[in-house]
Amino acid sequence: MPYRPGRHFLQIPGPTNVPERVLRAMARPTIDHRGPEFQALGRELLDGIRDIFRTERPVVIYPASGSGAWEAALVNALSPGDRVLMVETGHFAILWKQIAVKLGLEVDLIPGDWRHGVEPRAVETRLVEDREHAIKAVCVVHNETSTGVTSRIPLVRDAIDHARHPALFMVDTISSLASIDYRHDEWSVDVTVAASQKGLMLPPGLSFNAVSQKALAAHAHATLPRAFWDWRAVLAANETGFFPYTPATNLLYGLREALAMLGEEGLPNVFARHARHAEATRRAVRAWGLEILCKNPDEYSGSITAVMTPPGHDADRLRAVVLDRFDLSLGVGLAKLAGTVFRIGHLGDLNDLSLLGTLAGVEMGLAVVGIPHEPRGVDAAMRYLEEVAD
């Protein structure tokens, strides 16, 4: 590959651009993970990470991608043959379901069209029908990264409460944590699943389970086999700032820096920045005359926008051209959306001009591959960003 001058535009919805500060923080010697210097780091992180989840409860950190934290949530709180209620919001919801099935859980799936989020009334109906309380957990994806649809978690919580159902509530926030408002304690979530490589601006390799008191109580008598993922072993070691096995020390250096950066900006400002960039992106898409996959404006995602190409126009050809010509990576259409959707990631370490560069790359790409559009998207985004201050 020849050298490509300038910076690569990594505008997929994760992994996201890793800021220089985080890269530099990680470029240090790996230390003894049983020594006092590590202990101080461990204590600082295990305390600090809770603010991001908005919880007073412990957060378990794994050296694993997000899929590991999906599995951890299930094996720690459930038993073989337990019934779980899941909702087909898109590709990631289906992947989590497949893990549940492989683990021997019985999955009740509420079908979906991949253009809407979780319908709270549908959840309530299923739970009301479950008079025996056979359903042990409701598992949903907060921000469905394959479709750009954000489910309204407080309404799902209300649905569970209205049904007076004791099921645990598990939420995947892998592409929403630290970019879209999320509150583990206030929304009474029992297990929140997250990962490092999206809103937290880190490379892949860390993932998380925030765990409620109720989830810990379920853990005490849950019998799915668990070893590496066992919360109890991790939480016991965490008491003194350590981990039961070798942690991803250099990623933890990066996490310390990312937490500092999020603290300096302030989480409410981080969420507002993402919402503003998401709106600018949607204005560009509408000005191009293209369709946003998400149908319900109340469920528009603050971190990713999925855009439909007109029938007969291959989204993957557009992606290939913008990568080749403009060094811009866009998200692929996943599973049944292959070829008909491309995804613009606007989360993580992003400012107005990086967003406009991204949108300019898309607009030029549409012209190069001959997808019918109005060449006014960048302009529409610029007008919005000018008028609506940070």
Q: Please identify, using beta-carbon distances, which residue of 15 and 42 lies nearer to ligand PLP.
A: 15
The residues near 273 (Cβ < 8 Å, ≥ 6 apart) are 265, 350, 390
Segment holding 371, helix H or strand E = none
Enter the DSSP assignment of 227: S
- Spatial distance between the Cα atoms of 52 and 280, rounded to a whole number of angstroms: 25
Which position among 16, 17, 145, 238 is part of the footprint of ligand PLP (CB under 6 A)? Answer: 145
Q: What is the DSSP letter of 179?
A: T
Residue 300 · residue 306 · CB < 8 Å: no
Of 11, 14, 149, 209, the one binding ligand PLP by CB under 6 A: 14
Task: Quote the tokens at residue 159.
Answer: 């649905």
The dihedrals phi and psi of 208, each to the nearest 5 degrees, come to -140, 150
Handedness of CA 119, 348, 58, 182 (dihedral sign): negative
172 binds ligand PLP (CB under 6 A): yes
Stretch that binds ligand PLP, among 63-71, 215-223, 236-244, 288-296 (CB under 6 A): 63-71
Query: Which stretch in 33-41, 171-179, 320-328, 354-362 sits in contact with ligand PLP by CB under 6 A?
Result: 171-179
| Closer by beta carbon to ligand PLP, 58 or else 66 | 66
Nearer to ligand PLP, 172 or 257 (CB): 172
Among 39, 65, 125, 188, binds ligand PLP (CB under 6 A): 65
Report how far residue 210's alpha carbon sits from residue 57's, in angstroms, rounded to the nearest whole number: 7
Residue among 145 and 212 whose Cβ is closer to ligand PLP: 145
Residues numbered 186 to 215 that lie near ligand PLP (CB under 6 A) are: 195, 204
Handedness of CA 265, 266, 267, 271 (dihedral sign): negative
329 near ligand PLP (CB under 6 A): no
Site for ligand PLP in 80-139 (CB under 6 A): 92
Map residues 281-310 to x or -, x wherever contact with ligand PLP holds by CB under 6 A.
------------------------------
Which of 140, 141, 201, 308 is close enough to bind ligand PLP by CB under 6 A?
A: 141
Residue 58 or 148: which CB sits closer to ligand PLP? 148
Query: Of these, 31, 54, 67, 332, which contacts ligand PLP (CB under 6 A)?
Result: 67
Distance CA 211, CA 199 (A): 20
User: Which range of residues in 30-38, 61-69, 149-157, 249-257 is near ligand PLP by CB under 6 A?
Assistant: 61-69
Long-range CB pairs of 377-383 (<8 Å, 24+ gap) are 377/283, 377/284, 377/285, 377/287, 377/288, 378/284, 379/287, 380/283, 380/284, 380/286, 380/287, 381/280, 381/281, 381/283, 381/284, 381/287, 381/355, 381/356, 382/356, 383/283
Smallest separation (angstroms) from ligand PLP to the CB of 5: 30
Q: How far is the CB of 113 from ligand PLP (least distance, A)?
A: 18
Q: What angle do CA 103, 200, 176 make, to 5 degrees?
A: 60
Q: How far is the CB of 368 from ligand PLP (least distance, A)?
A: 29
Does the protein bind ligand PLP through residue 151 (CB under 6 A)?
no
Say how far apart CA 189 and CA 168 lie, in whole Å: 8
Instruction: Give the CB-nearest residue to ligand PLP.
Output: 66
Contact region with ligand PLP (CB under 6 A), list: 170-178, 227-235, 242-250, 257-265: 170-178
Shortest Å distance, C-beta 384 to ligand PLP: 26
The amino acid occupying position 201 is M
